[in-house]
Structures are given as structure tokens and as C-alpha cells.
Structure 1
Amino acid sequence: MKKCDKWYSIVLMGLVLLLASSLIACQPALSSAPPVEPADTTSPPPIGGFVATDAYDGKVNLSWDKSMAEDFDHYSIYVSKSEITDVNGMTPAQEIADIITNRYQVTQLETGTKYYFAVTAVDKSDNENTSVACVSAMPTPMPRGTVDPDVHVEVYQSDMAWPGTTLLPDNYDPGRPRIIEVNMLGEIIWEYLVPHNLKQYTNPGFDVELLPNNNILFVLPRRGVYEIDRKGRVVWSYLTDKISHDADRLPNGNTIFVYGASDHKNDAQIIEVNQKGEVVWSWYAKDHFDKSPYASIYDEGWTHTNAVTRLPDGNTLISPRNFNFMVEVDSNGSVVRTIGEGILEDQHDPEILSDGNILVANHVIPHQAIEIDPKTSRVVWKSAGFERDITPVRDADRLPNGNTLITGTTRILEVTAEGKTAWQLSLKDVIFETPKERPARGFYKAERIGTQR
């Protein structure tokens, strides 16, 4: 073998050995590489609290609970004329990237056609729970009425408001007191004129409510409580001068009402009567509060009780305005608890919410609607304060979409939980010549009647 060939063989053998050792040295590094993460195939949980509501004239409002998905990417909204059980293969009508946005208005639908809707959450790996429980709604035309010279709608955000009509007493013209039902545009679609011989009995507290049979129950202070049908015919009444502010029809057919207009210690502040007009239950504040510091109070009555509500457990919630708190009593009339001490001032029309909290109009300065947790006495929500030209604020109702309908003297507002105005009805060119005219002639209470009633 030549020297060069021998040298070449030695070099080649060295290169082979060097390559082999390099490969061996690399083995530990290769074996220590992190394992590949498996692909995310878990879909976000189904959406809860999904509701579809006719918003009139080819529009449907959708709302749902916020997604709990940690890797949320967007909501997908589906629309169909047939029932939806699985959205696999369907194209979303809309995608919403903001997890906080949990409402949407579907437009350009056919009036009188039933539609089905579904909403899903999609995560960043494009996972989607395609099996859905859909909801349905049928767009209908808005009921139309007549334009009135005294009232008008200044704000109407159809995608934010709870659609329907609004029922309220209107005493702005004392010579022509009436009950009106207005549509979302402020047009009057139904009206009842209080008879001429009764028109002086409208203050304080000309309360009105819709009954399940579509009749209207209303209070004429110091005169009585009446039930009329939609043709204005009186179908039931209970006459007494010991009545004011508030009356409710109970599920058993009885009627419960308050007396707080110039009430005295010997008066029953709460009375319940049956359909025959027999008193079946009453409550006297003197049995519990004829003591310091309440015994010497007097401001338009001893207690000036202005509201009563029968609770689901059979107890009764009472609002003695002058005491600056609410009282819950049991079926025997014994005080279970007082609510709102140190928070409330001249409170009006408390309402029990589905979670047990209480929504009430509060007359601290400025007036506002507040929601109280009675277990902790904490204010868990409050509206913005209202300027003087709207006060007094005497009613607040929580609507099914979470908005709140608030009745002030010159305006009725629907506000979102965030404080945005979704709807506002106002008195036109209102002029009150004296301070006493404000509560006497202004709005008192209002009730929204939903489209799906």
C-alpha cells in the first residue's frame, strides 16, 4: 500500500469515529426534548340564560349569560326558521369577540314568522359545543296609537330596551286624570278617563296595575280601589276613605292595600279584603312602633305608609315612609325584621327581586333607585342620582332583561345595569307653579307590559 493510500485510510477512519461519537453524544439531548402537548379539543361549556324577545317590526333581541370559557375567542349566533339542535355545518349570522357583550339584536326578520336562535362560545382552538338548546321568537308589528300633546319619548334604543307597552296613571291635567298605556314610541294605545265625580281622588298615590285577566286595578286615594275591564266598566270595587298609595291583587283573589295619607295611630296601615269586601287581615303600626323615637313622628300622617307587598313565604313587606325603613311582618302581624335603617330616607314602593334583594326608590339627596341585600344591609346597585326637576322619584321596577324602569315626576326612564338610558318618556313643556304641584301632577308609578305576556 502506498503511503498516501494508507494516510487516506487513517483519515477516513478518524472521520467515521468522530461522526459516530457525535451521534452518541447527541442522544441524551434528543431524549430530553419536551413532549409535544396534545391538541386542545375541549369545547367551552354551553351558554346559559339564553332569551329571545320580540322587539317589534322585524327585530328580535337576544341576551345570554357571559361565557365562563378561560380561552374564549368569540360568540357565534345562529338564526333559522327551523328548530336548531346542532349547529355543525351552519354558518353563524354574527360573531361577537367581546366576552362581556351578552346581548344582540337580530334585524331584517319577517314579521309573523317564527324564528329559532342559538348562541355558542368558541375558544381560541376553534372548539365549539355544537349541540345546543335553541330559543324562539316571532317578530310582530308594534301596536300603534295616537300622539299625545302631553307626553313624548325622548330616548328609545330598541336593542337595549325591554320591549312592550307601559301602563301608568297620568294626573298632569288635574281636570282630566286618566290611566294610559303607551307604546315604545310614546303613542297612546289605550286610555281610561277617571269619571268626573271621582277626579278629585287622585292624590296622593294614584296607583295602577295590570291584572292577569288583563283588567286594571287602581287606587283612588281616600275613595277606594277599583277593578275595571278594558272597556272601562267597573267589575269590582271596595270603597273606603282609609286608602292611599298602593294596592295589589293577591293570587288567592284578595286585595291588599295601604292607608298612609294622614293616618293616625288608631288606623290600620294595611288592610286585606276578599272578593266579598270582607276584611280578612290587617296590620296596625301602633302595636309595634308606638314608642320612642317613632311615637311623636308626624309628616302627612303618622307613618305615611306608602307600599305593601305579600311575599312568597306568606310574610308581608311594608313601607312606613316616615320611619325611614321597611318592615317585614309574619302572618300574625309580628315584626320579623326591619330593613334599610341608616340607608333609606322617605322610601317608596319597594320590590322583592328573584334573588331576595329589594329594589326601592330612595329619597336621599339626590333621589335614586337602589338595590339592597337585606341579609347584609349592603347597597349592591344604585342608579345615578336624579336632578331636581325629575324628583320626587317614587317607583323602580326591575325588568326581565336586567334593566330598571324608574319613575320620576317629569320622566320615566329605563336604564341598564351600567346606567345607560335605553328608553325615556317625558312630560312635554311641563310647568309646575308651586312645589306641591310636582308630586300631585307628576308621574307617580309605571309598569312595563312585555310583548310575550
Structure 2
Amino acid sequence: MAKNIKKRGSDYFAGKHFKNSLKLLRYFCCFIAVVSISYLLFDFSYCKPNLPAYSSLGSFPVIDKNKINQGYTLLTPYKMNQYGKGSIYLVDLYGKPVHRWQTNYTPFYSILKKNGNILVAIVTPGNDSNFPAGGRTGLLQELDWNSNVVWEYKNDNLHHDIEVLPNGNAAALIWEPVPKNIAKDVKGGVPNTEFKERVWSDAIIEINKSGDIIWTWHAYEHLDPKTDILGPLTPRAEWTHANSLMYINKDPFYNEAAYLISLREINTVALIKKSNSRIIWRSPKYMLAYQHDATLLPNGNILVFDNNIFREPNPRPLQGSRVVEIEPIENKIVWRFDGGEAGMEKARFKADITSGAQRLQNGNTIIINGPAGHLFEITPKKQLVWDFINPFGYNSTGPWPNTAVFKARRYGVNEINWPEKLNPPLPALSVMCQFIKRYA
């Protein structure tokens, strides 16, 4: 009997212990649920709006706030094959918009003016098969801070880049057919790939606010079809395919007004003296391959995003892209970024089309992988201090969102006369937000 009493007592205490354990487990589960819900509410109500962008590393974009060049980035998301309304975003260093412009059609690229207006290249509805290559726009507009149209210029042959001129006018690139007597002598390219039985080239035009063309430079007048040769894998639809344009107040050779232009199909960046339209400098043969976004730096050197495809001669089948700084007097590369020292690192940094680079005021460089919408900032010693994926993706036909951009630019806090007070480009973040962004 004593044994039975002892057993019943043990069973009683065991059952009570089990019930207490269940109660503690329920309390613990409730606690976890409350914490999870609180985390989600905090994440979506506060952190998501303030930290909309991620880096390619999965954390938040700002890696070293002490070395980053503070400013706002002008992002022009590109909606491929869509002609509806679009948006242009001025974002802080975490990707939060501090201002937004709206356009009636898809924007291709935009530039901030000193007064806070933007100059926008816009893709108008049309059949792309009517044009010799990708990158067409068709409409140039200046928009004020509230997205009102200040002036516009329409031309179906507008494509790729635009430029703001010191006198308030604009410069742009247009396609034009090469005269047949010149086109027949253009060497290279894939045979029988002309566009509508013509070879096309480019012109630079200057437009005033009345929509008048007041200056023109024709590429075919200043190139040699026998020496400016297309590569063996390049279609003959275009001879030049200009994709970037920069106006220069004082060129590094004559201290005169000039244009810097990238001619992708002939692997050439050229400096054009405006007063006589002559080419006064061009990148050496084999230095670049299908490049984009050539800019003149304050030190007189030239920064270029070298897409590095169809390279000639090509001793290695494995090629990545790179950014190079060219010293134009001696024609040598004085700085480069190509992803790293190892072959796999070089191969990972790759963009066949679009893309760009910008040298910042503190000496850092922003590099834009256009198709991926991946922007990152590195120091002169190539330390990564900012890493950013365009958060404004659009629907796509593949498994990844379309985050593509043509290129982008960052603007310093004091570089623009902002029409209204903006939030700081590097806002203070709570410890919780930083924890969520880094580890969640």
C-alpha cells in the first residue's frame, strides 16, 4: 500500500511538472509570436520606408559612412518595352526617395540642372524595328521640380545620351544615315547586316529652348572608313553607335570648348574641338572594347566604363568589364577597377551593355552595372564603401525583377540650388533598423 501511495504521489508530481512545462511552453510561444509581430510591424512601418534598398551583399547600402562621398543619387529606372508613365527618383544613400518626378512615358536617362530642374531623355511609343539599334528615345524634356514641362524637343532619331550646356541649351545624339559613297568603304562587320540597306552613324546636335538645332557635328565627316573599322562580330547596321556625350568648357590640349563622345562600334572615345569640329584626341587602338560613359576629370584624365566585349586582339576567352582612367597626353591607363586580381573576380564584374562610372569630389568612384541596376562606390584604393541595388524594379519576363538603369549620377548637397529643403543624404538610423537590415 505504501508503494501505491508513493507511486500515486510520483505520478501526481510528474503530471504537475508536465502541465507546468506546457504552460511555460505556451508562454514562450506567445512571447515569440509577440516579438515576431512587433518585429514585422516595426520593419514594415518604419525600416522598410527608410531602408528600401539592399546591397549585393544582402545588408544595407552604407558600408563605411566615414569614407562615403555624401550626396543624392538620381535614379532613372528603365522599363524595357513599356511605354506607360514613368518615374525618376532622387534618393538618399539608403535608397529612400527625397524627391520624385513623373513622366508621361518611360524615361531613359536624366540629368539634374543647377536650379533643380531635370533634363530627361524619354522613350516615346514606337516600333523599335524602325531604328538601327537599341537606346532610342525620341523626346527630350526639361521638367521643373513639380514635373511640369518647361520645354521639349521631339526627334525620332534621338538616342542614348543628353547634356546640359552652360547657356541653358541642350546637346543630344541622333542617328543619321551615312552617305552611300562613304558607306561602301566602311570596313569590317558581319556581311549583309546593314539596316534597311544602309549604314547608319551619329551626329551631335545642340538645341535651344525654341527647339531649333543651332550646331551639328556629323561623325561620318570626321572618320575614315578605311581605318575606323568595325569588329568582325559587329553588325554593319551602325558604323559608330555613340552612347555617351559630355560638353567640356576647356579641353586638356587647347583650353577650348569641346565634346567628349564614346563611339562604341569602333571601340573609340574621341575629343572634338567645337570651333572647327576636328577630332583632337582619340583613344588608342585596342585600349577599349564596346565602352560606355566617357567623362573628363578635373585632372585632365578621362574616365571610361569599358564593357570589354569583342576585344581585339583577345588572348583570353574569359573577359570581364572594367573601369579605366586614361591619361590622354601619354595615352596610358593610370587607374583601373576590374573586379579583383583573380580571374574569377574579373569574370564576375561583367556588363555587356549600358553602364557607367563617375568620379566623386572626394576621389571615390561610383560604378554602375547597368543591366543589374547595381551601383557601388569605391575609394581610390578600391575599398568598397557603398553598395546599392536599384530598389525600383519593374515586372520582367524572367525570375528576377528588372532593376536596369542606363547610368546614374550622384549630386553633392551643395551642388544644386534645391527648390526645397531635403532630408540629409545620410540620415541617422536606429540600432534596430540596422540590426534588421544586416541580419534579418
Query: Per the shorter chain, which TM-score range?
Result: 0.5 to 0.7
Q: Secondary structure at the match of 1:356?
A: coil
Q: CA deviation at 1:288?
A: 2.5
Looking at structure 2, the residues matched to 429 and 145 of structure 1 have their Cα atoms a distance apart, in angstroms, of 13
Shift of 1:295: 6.4
Q: What is the CA–CA distance in structure 1 between the aligned matches of 2:403 and 2:85, rounded to whole Å?
A: 11
Check the 8 A contact 1:262/1:302 in 2, yes or no.
no
Tell me what 1:452 maps to. 414
Distance 1:402 1:262, change over 3 A: farther
1:360 CA displacement? 0.7
Give the residue type in structure 1 aligned to 2:144: D
Check the 8 A contact 1:327/1:338 in 2, yes or no: yes
Whether the 8 Å contact between 1:245 and 1:260 is mirrored in structure 2 is no
* TM-score normalized by the length of structure 2: 0.62
Percent identical residues: 28
- 1:413: how far off? 0.5
Return the match for 1:316 from 243, 259, 270. 259
Give 1:176 deviation, angstroms. Answer: 5.8
- Candidates 157, 160, 170, aligned match of 2:77: 170
CA shift in 2, pair 1:159/1:261, >3 Å = farther
Paired residue type of 1:190: H
Partner of 2:291: 347
SS in 2 for 1:154: coil
Which consecutive unaligned segments of at least 5 residues does structure 2 have? 1-46, 123-135, 179-197, 251-255, 309-318, 340-345, 416-440
Partner of 1:443: 405
Residue type of the alignment partner of 1:213: N
CA contact (8 A) 2:390 2:403 kept: no
Partner of 1:141: none
Among 375, 381, 404, which residue is 1:412 paired with? 375
**Which amino acid letter does the alignment assign opposite residue 309 of structure 1?**
M
Separation in structure 2 between the aligned mates of residue 157 and residue 383 of structure 1, nearest angstrom: 19
1:188 to 97, 102, 108: 97
> Gapped runs of 5+ residues in structure 1?
1-143
Conserved in 2, the CA contact under 8 Å of 1:325 and 1:338? yes
- Tell me by how many angstroms 1:222 deviates: 3.2
Deviation at 1:266, TM superposition (A): 6.3
Secondary structure of 2:76's counterpart equals: strand
Aligned residue for 2:133? none
User: How big is each residue's C-alpha offset from its partner over 1:336-361, in whole Å with a ceiling of 9 and x where there is no partner?
Assistant: 23224211111111110111100010
Answer yes or no: is 1:379 the counterpart of 2:339: no
TM-superposed deviation, 1:145: 10
1:395 counterpart residue number: 356
User: Over aligned residue pairs, what C-alpha RMSD do you find?
Assistant: 3.1
More displaced stretch, 326-335 vs 149-158: 149-158
1:156 aligns with 2:60: no
Q: Is the radius of gyration larger for structure 1 or structure 2?
A: 1
- 1:11-410 pair list within 5 angstroms: 146-147=49-50, 153-171=60-78, 174=82, 177-195=86-104, 198-199=105-106, 202=107, 206-220=108-122, 221-259=136-174, 268-289=202-223, 291-294=225-228, 298=235, 301-311=238-248, 312=250, 313-330=256-273, 331-364=275-308, 365-385=319-339, 388=348, 391-392=351-352, 394-409=355-370, 410=372
Q: Is the contact between residue 289 and residue 295 of structure 1 (CA under 8 Å) also seen in structure 2?
A: no
The CA deviation at 1:332 is 2.1
CA distance in 2, matches of 1:416, 1:252: 34
State the one-letter code of the partner of 2:168.
Answer: G
Would you say the 8 A contact 1:246–1:306 is kept in 2?
Answer: yes
Say whether the 8 Å CA contact 1:248–1:309 is kept in structure 2: yes
TM (normalized to structure 1)? 0.60
**Following the alignment from structure 1 to structure 2, what is the Cα–Cα distance between the partners of residues 209 and 429?**
18
| CA separation of 1:359 and 1:406: change in aligned 2, threshold 3 A | same
Q: Deviations over 1:349-389 (max 9, x none)?
A: 11101111000100123112110001111110011336557
Once residues 262 and 171 of structure 1 are traced to their aligned partners in structure 2, the CA distance between those partners, rounded to angstroms, is 27
Moved more, 225-234 or 254-263: 254-263
Deviating more after overlay: 175-184 vs 277-286: 175-184
Q: Distance in 1 between matches of 2:51 and 2:138?
A: 28
Greater helix fraction, Structure 1 or Structure 2: 2
Q: Distance in 2 between matches of 1:291 and 1:223?
A: 28
Q: Partners of 1:423 and 1:403 in 2: how far apart? A: 10
| Code of the aligned partner of 1:250 | L
CA distance in 2, matches of 1:384, 1:243: 32
Superposed CA deviations along residues 16-64 of structure 1, whole A, max 9, x for unmatched, are xxxxxxxxxxxxxxxxxxxxxxxxxxxxxxxxxxxxxxxxxxxxxxxxx
> 2:385 — aligned with what?
422
1:102-137 Cα shifts (integer Å, max 9, x gaps): xxxxxxxxxxxxxxxxxxxxxxxxxxxxxxxxxxxx
Counterpart for residue 428 of structure 2: none
Looking at structure 2, the residues matched to 245 and 323 of structure 1 have their Cα atoms a distance apart, in angstroms, of 17
- CA–CA distance in 2 between the matches of 1:413 and 1:262? 38
- Residue 308 of structure 1 deviates from its aligned partner by 1.5
Partner Cα separation in structure 2 for residue 390 and residue 442 of structure 1: 14
1:353 partner amino acid: L
Assess if the C-alpha contact under 8 Å between 1:261 and 1:304 holds in 2.
no
Offset of residue 397 of structure 1 = 0.6
Give 1:146 shift: 3.8
In structure 2, C-alpha distance between the alignment counterparts of 1:166 and 1:352, rounded to whole Å: 20
SS in 2 for 1:322: helix
Q: Which amino acid aligns with 2:204?
A: I
